[in-house]
Structure formats: C-alpha cells, structure tokens
C-alpha cells in the first residue's frame, strides 16, 4: 500500500494484492555451464560428513555455493530482491576503540544512531551577573602555555555586568546568534582556582528553555534547563538537580535547591567561551561549566577522503557553530551547520543531496550527514498547530514511512546518515509496565522517535558520561578538563554488540584518540601509571603524564612502541575476546 492510498483510506482488493506479489515464471533455470540443475538426492549425515575426505567436503561446499549464487541471481532478476550488500566503505570515528567495537566504522549507505542523555547546552539568563576583567593592557603574565593565558587580576579593571549586556556591549557583532563572537577588547574571567583566563568570545543562543532555581540562603539563578552547575563536586544539568537532596557547591560550602519553575519555553540564553578550565563562579558563589563525537567523525571523514566528499551538519538544536566544529577538527573545508530544520526538511535535504550527486556524477563518492538531534526535531505541523496534542504520534509515523525508503536510497547513493538522539525515561500508564525493549539499552530508558529508528539502524550506540574530569581534582590523571564516556553498541551488524569501552574527551577539543588509547593501555595493564609512567614494552623510558604528548610527537621509538601496544591490546582485549568462531556455533 503506497502512502497516497494509505492516507485516502483506499484498500487494495484481494486480487490486487495477489497481483502485486506475482512474478513471471517463464524462465528456465540454467547453471553457469548452461546445464539443467541436477539436485543431489540425499543430504549427507554428520556421520557421513566425518567419513568424507577434505576434497569431498570442499566439492560439496562448492556445489552448495553455486546453487545458492544461482538462486540469488534468479531472485534478483525476477523479484528485485537482493541479498545483503557487502560493506565496502566505512566512515571512521577517529577513535580506535570506538572503531573496533563498530567493526571498523559507520558503513556508507546506512543509518547510525548515537544515543545519549539530554544535551550539553550551558547558558544563563540575560540579567544574571558575572564578574569580568576588562582592559587593553592585559597585565603581567603569571602562568602561560600553548593553551592557557593567565594574568595578575589587580592590573585589570574588574566590572560586574549582566551577561546579556556583556554580549550586547562587547561582542564585535551582536546580531549573530548561536556562534562564538569575539569581544571588541580583551575580556577575562576568574576560573575555579582563582586564575584570570581570557575569553575566546561570547554567545547568544536561541530556542532555550529558561528556568528559575531557588536555593537556600535566598540565592536564585535563572538559566537554561541544560545549564551545568556544580553539584556534589561534579556537574549536573540545572533541570536534573534533585530538590532538597543534592548538595550544590556554593563557595566553600553546600546548599540545597528548594524550588524550580519554568520561565519561558523558547527564549534567548547567554554564555561565555573560555580558553581553559571552563569552570567559572558567579557573584552568588555558584560554579558553572561552559562547554563532542560527531565533529570528530566529520573531521575524520574529511581526512580520509582528502576533503573530496560532501559532509553536512543538520543542527535542529542550533547549538553547534562553525568555530566549534573547527575546534573539533572540521577544517577541510570549514562548514556551517544547517539550522531551522524539521522532519520534512531532513528528508528533503537527503533527497536534494541524492539529486545533486546524480547531476554532478559523484554518486560513488561517499557523503556524510549528521542529524543533531532526532529528539529536538519536530514536524512542520507540530510547529504550526496551537494544540500540540493534535499532532501526537505524527513524528513517529512519518519516520516509519520515510526511513525505510531513504535507507535504501542512501545505500544506492552512498550516503551515511548518523543521527543523534536522547535517552528518556520510559513511562508506565496506570498499572501497565512499559513494553520490553532492546535489552542492552539502559534500563528504564527509551529514545523518542518511534520503533522505526531501532528497526532501521545499522548501528545503535549508547554513550554515557561516567566521570567529569577537572584539572583541579587530584584524582584526575589527565591534564585537561573533560569527561570519561562509556560507549557500547546496543545494535551492531558488523561486530558483537554490548561491548563497553571508555573514551576520553576534552571539553574544548572533543574526544581524543590518544588519551582514549592511553587510558585503555592503563586499564589493561600495558601502561604502568604512577609518579613516573612507562610502557610495559619499553620499561626504561619513563615519563610524567604532562609530558607524554610531547614525548609521543618527538620520540619515534616511543611512538612506535605506544602505537604497537594499542594495536596489540585492541586485538587481544576486544577483537579476539569477542570474535565468535564457527566452532562455537556447533
């Protein structure tokens, strides 16, 4: 039944249904040698197989394969049904561990879904105050390296200002939204450890849900729902802080959240972009965090194909900028995210890409499209209706119709679509428990968009932050602020699913292949970590963690030993431990 017939309510008759599955039967089956097939009358038993010579078994396998190949060719010609296409090209993530559990990467011509807990937007309301240091003369430097600029604060002019005014008065262009805008003069803020750090720029974001938080000691904060606040010496989204339970960091003490309410469902919010540390304190003594895999994947795709491929970022959340993508390595060329997208526009984009590739005769050149995110993309009707309840289920229905069609089309036009989605709590209705789902997805969690996404995904990856990394934390062994993220595949057609790995990300530059491998070697006892570190295969070459990047870049012997240890560990701990031999199925 096509879409038009389905929507008009017209049903096919029994005769039309039977006619739709009828095939011609006027073709005589011919073998490759143009001889009629002579089927073997008896299939050998296991006892007979054990008594057969190796040559007899091989001949039997060859005959069976020839018969199967002929049947596949006949089926393709008469019914247009084809066997599974061999995966010939893969889009790498740039993270060796991630690529290993994927089976090499995301296949061209497929849908890959990356699941995670809700977003990473971090913004304050216009009127929230922030202390900044402003001045053309930046003062005496007290600490600096290739990433950090720190200055004596008493040589700069301190000013308390509303964060919205900071954007309006000091940005070089206050008409631009959703991008990091440089400031007219140098602007600095005090980070978590009291150092004065220069801003990369200021940001005004659109389509943010604003909430107001009321804490103990009459402290209030207006911010975006996904703003990160320091809680129990880690970080939580503002909307996830548990009232009267969580301990919120406030200077050198803890306070409780007393109340939370929504101010506006769709409004502006403001943020700053810091060079380093990424944690700053507002005058109310609350600690805030200012802000990773899709940018890495785009960068790796550009590198693999030397820029000679079409890559696109469809950003329904309007939270990614050209500068942010560039920081993650998307530079060949730099790209602008496409915004203001709906479900309809996503598939119009794919249709347009197919048409463009056909006209330019570049169908065989792989393309990559990132869709961020499914959860935040609505249909055009949902935008237009006054009562959102009148459009419930429309998004899932559209996806169930369009996805199967475009999965096949993407395969023909060599397009890899990687979609970001969020994990949400499952809902129970009355006494009825939620239906069972893919068992490897986090318990009591589901993703919006309907079942069609799960059915049509080639890969379904789940990512979950296991630990926030702060340089101020003495337990943090990495020389940057970031996060350890656990990744596993709930669905995988190239490699066994449900194999967890841990990748390491830097809040500024994204996920790091080197530091993920470094952590993997440490966890699997190929690298001894302590006051002095060393590879087990190179015990005499000792180093400190802060110097390992320089050592890796400058010492060929160390780099070769490190890379070889990574290959061996991945092969031993991931590939061999999880590869199923034919003998295991007997």
Asked if 414 and 353 count as a contact pair (C-beta separation under 8 A), the reply is no
How far apart are alpha carbons 108 and 113 in whole angstroms?
A: 14
pTM to 2 decimal places: 0.63
Q: Is the pLDDT of residue 10 over 50?
A: no
What are 14's two structure tokens?
């029994």
Q: Is the pLDDT of residue 38 over 50?
A: no
For position 473, what pLDDT does the model report?
75
Where would I find the H helices in 416-485? 452-456
Q: Predicted confidence band at 312 (pLDDT cuts at 50, 70, 90)? A: very high
Q: Is the pLDDT of residue 381 over 70?
A: yes
Q: Is the dihedral of CA 14, 17, 19, 22 positive or negative?
A: negative
In this predicted model, what pLDDT tens digit does every residue of 449-463 receive, in sequence order? 778 888 899 999 988
Q: Is the pLDDT of residue 288 over 80?
A: no
How far apart are alpha carbons 263 and 209 in whole angstroms?
A: 8
For position 119, what pLDDT does the model report?
36
In this predicted model, what pLDDT tens digit does every residue of 170-199 receive, in sequence order? 888 888 876 678 888 888 887 766 777 778
Assign domain 129-289 to a CATH class: mainly beta
Q: Is the pLDDT of residue 40 over 60?
A: no
In this predicted model, what pLDDT tens digit does every residue of 51-65 receive, in sequence order? 666 666 556 556 666
- Scanning the structure block, which residue is given the tokens 């050198």? 252
Q: What is the CATH number of domain 90-119+293-426+435-506?
A: 3.40.50.300
Q: Is the pLDDT of residue 403 over 50?
A: yes
How far apart are alpha carbons 441 and 447 in whole angstroms?
A: 10
Q: Is the pLDDT of residue 258 over 70?
A: yes
Q: DSSP class of residue 574?
A: I
How far apart are alpha carbons 481 and 278 in whole angstroms?
A: 7
Most confident of 14-18, 227-231, 563-567: 563-567
What is the residue extent of each domain of the chain? 28-66, 90-119+293-426+435-506, 129-289, 524-579
For position 148, what pLDDT does the model report?
43
How far apart are alpha carbons 278 and 293 in whole angstroms?
A: 19
For position 435, what pLDDT does the model report?
53
Tell me the pLDDT of the chain averaged across its residues. Answer: 77
For position 178, what pLDDT does the model report?
67
Q: Predicted confidence band at 142 (pLDDT cuts at 50, 70, 90)? A: very low
What mean pLDDT is predicted for residues 239-256?
86
Q: Is the pLDDT of residue 222 over 90?
A: no
Q: Is the pLDDT of residue 301 over 80?
A: yes
What are 581's two structure tokens?
């031999």
In this predicted model, what pLDDT tens digit does every residue of 542-580 receive, in sequence order? 999 989 999 999 999 999 999 999 999 999 999 999 987
Q: Predicted confidence band at 466 (pLDDT cuts at 50, 70, 90)? A: confident
What are 12's two structure tokens?
């096919």
What are 8's two structure tokens?
């008009």
For position 49, what pLDDT does the model report?
61
In this structure, of 153-162, 221-230, 250-259, 392-401, the range with the lowest mean pLDDT score is 153-162
Stronger pLDDT, 365 or 124, i.e. the higher one: 365
Q: Is 448 exposed, middle or buried (0-12, 13-18, 19+ CB in 10 A)?
A: middle
Q: Is the pLDDT of residue 149 over 50?
A: no
How far apart are alpha carbons 333 and 326 in whole angstroms?
A: 9
Tell me the residue length of the chain. 586
For position 159, what pLDDT does the model report?
82
For position 136, what pLDDT does the model report?
53
In this structure, of 65-74, 123-132, 428-437, the range with the lowest mean pLDDT score is 428-437
Stronger pLDDT, 35 or 457, i.e. the higher one: 457
How far apart are alpha carbons 90 and 211 in whole angstroms?
A: 42
For position 515, what pLDDT does the model report?
95
Per-position DSSP letters for 307-324, written without gaps between them: T-S-EEEEETT----HHH
Stronger pLDDT, 364 or 88, i.e. the higher one: 364
Q: Is the pLDDT of residue 417 over 50?
A: yes
Q: DSSP class of residue 252?
A: T
Per-position DSSP letters for 473-539, written without gaps between them: -TT--SSSSEEEEEEEEEEESSS-S---EEEEEETTTEEEHHHHHHHHHHHTTSEE-SSSEEETTEE
How far apart are alpha carbons 500 and 101 in whole angstroms?
A: 8
What mean pLDDT is predicted for residues 249-257?
85
Q: Kindly report the number of other CB atoms within 10 A of residue 231's CB atom.
A: 20
In this predicted model, what pLDDT tens digit does every residue of 78-128 receive, in sequence order? 776 666 555 568 888 889 999 999 999 999 988 988 887 543 334 566 677
What mean pLDDT is predicted for residues 248-265?
87
For position 526, what pLDDT does the model report?
96
Q: Is the dihedral of CA 575, 580, 581, 583 positive or negative?
A: positive
Q: Predicted confidence band at 468 (pLDDT cuts at 50, 70, 90)? A: confident
For position 59, what pLDDT does the model report?
62
Vertex 416: Cα angle to 410 and 417 (nearest 5): 95
Q: What is the largest CA-CA distance in the chain?
A: 95
What mean pLDDT is predicted for residues 338-364?
91
Closest alpha carbon to 203 in 188, 185, 181, 187: 181
* Torsion of Cα atoms, 581 then 583 then 584 then 586, to 10°: 140
Q: Do domains 90-119+293-426+435-506 and 129-289 have the same CATH topology?
A: no
How far apart are alpha carbons 34 and 70 in whole angstroms?
A: 12
User: Coil, helix or strand for 457?
Assistant: coil
How far apart are alpha carbons 270 and 208 in whole angstroms?
A: 10
Phi, psi of 364 (to 5 degrees): -75, -10
């Amino acid at each position: 039944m096509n879409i038009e017939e389905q929507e008009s309510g017209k049903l096919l008759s029994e005769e039309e249904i039977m006619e739709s599955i009828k095939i011609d039967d006027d073709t005589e089956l011919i073998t490759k040698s143009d001889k009629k097939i002579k089927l073997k009358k008896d299939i050998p038993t296991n006892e007979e197989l054990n008594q057969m010579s190796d040559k007899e078994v091989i001949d039997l396998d060859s005959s069976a394969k020839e018969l199967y190949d002929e049947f596949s060719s006949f089926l393709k010609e008469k019914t247009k049904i084809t066997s599974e296409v061999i995966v010939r090209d893969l889009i790498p993530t740039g993270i060796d561990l991630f690529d290993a559990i994927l089976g090499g990467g995301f296949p061209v011509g497929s849908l890959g879904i990356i699941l995670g807990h809700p977003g990473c937007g971090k913004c304050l309301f216009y009127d929230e105050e922030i202390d900044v240091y402003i001045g053309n003369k930046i003062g005496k430097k007290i600490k600096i390296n290739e990433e950090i600029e720190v200055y004596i604060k008493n040589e700069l002019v301190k000013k308390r200002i509303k964060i919205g005014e900071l954007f309006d008065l000091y940005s070089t262009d206050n008409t631009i939204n959703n991008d990091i805008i440089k400031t007219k003069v140098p602007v600095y803020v005090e980070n978590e450890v009291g150092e004065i750090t220069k801003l990369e720029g200021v940001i005004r974001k659109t389509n943010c849900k604003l909430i107001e938080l009321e804490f103990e000691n009459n402290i209030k904060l207006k911010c975006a729902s996904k703003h990160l606040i320091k809680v129990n010496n880690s970080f939580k989204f503002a909307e996830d802080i548990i009232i009267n339970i969580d301990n919120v960091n406030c200077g050198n003490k803890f306070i409780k959240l007393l109340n939370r309410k929504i101010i506006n469902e769709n409004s502006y919010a403001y943020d700053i972009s810091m060079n380093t540390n990424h944690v700053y304190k507002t005058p109310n003594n609350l600690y805030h965090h200012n802000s990773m895999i899709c940018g890495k994947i785009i960068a790796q795709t550009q590198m693999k194909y030397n820029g000679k491929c079409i890559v696109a970022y469809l950003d329904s959340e309007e939270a990614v900028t050209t500068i942010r993508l560039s920081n993650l390595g998307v530079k060949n060329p730099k790209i602008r995210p496409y915004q203001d997208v709906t479900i309809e526009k996503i598939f119009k984009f794919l249709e347009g890409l197919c048409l463009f590739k056909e006209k330019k005769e570049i169908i065989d050149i792989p393309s990559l499209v990132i869709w961020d995110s499914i959860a935040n993309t609505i249909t055009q009707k949902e935008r237009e209706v006054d009562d959102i309840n009148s459009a419930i289920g429309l998004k899932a229905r559209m996806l169930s119709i369009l996805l199967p069609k475009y999965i096949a089309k993407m395969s023909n036009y060599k397009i890899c679509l990687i979609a970001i989605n969020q994990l949400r709590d499952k809902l129970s209705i009355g006494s009825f428990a939620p239906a069972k789902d893919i068992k490897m997805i986090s318990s009591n969690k589901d993703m919006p968009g309907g079942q069609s996404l799960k059915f049509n995904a080639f890969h379904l990856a789940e990512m979950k932050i296991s630990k926030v990394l702060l340089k101020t934390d003495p337990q943090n062994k990495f020389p940057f602020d970031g996060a350890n993220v656990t990744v596993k595949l709930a669905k995988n057609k190239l490699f066994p699913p449900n194999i967890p790995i841990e990748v390491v990300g830097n809040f500024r530059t994204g996920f790091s292949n080197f530091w993920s491998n470094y952590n993997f070697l440490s966890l699997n006892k190929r690298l001894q970590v302590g006051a002095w570190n060393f590879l087990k295969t190179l015990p005499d070459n000792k180093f400190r963690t802060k110097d390992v990047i320089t050592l890796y870049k400058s010492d060929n012997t160390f780099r070769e030993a490190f890379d070889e240890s990574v290959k061996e560990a991945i092969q031993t701990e991931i590939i061999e431990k999880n590869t199923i031999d034919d003998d295991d199925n007997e």
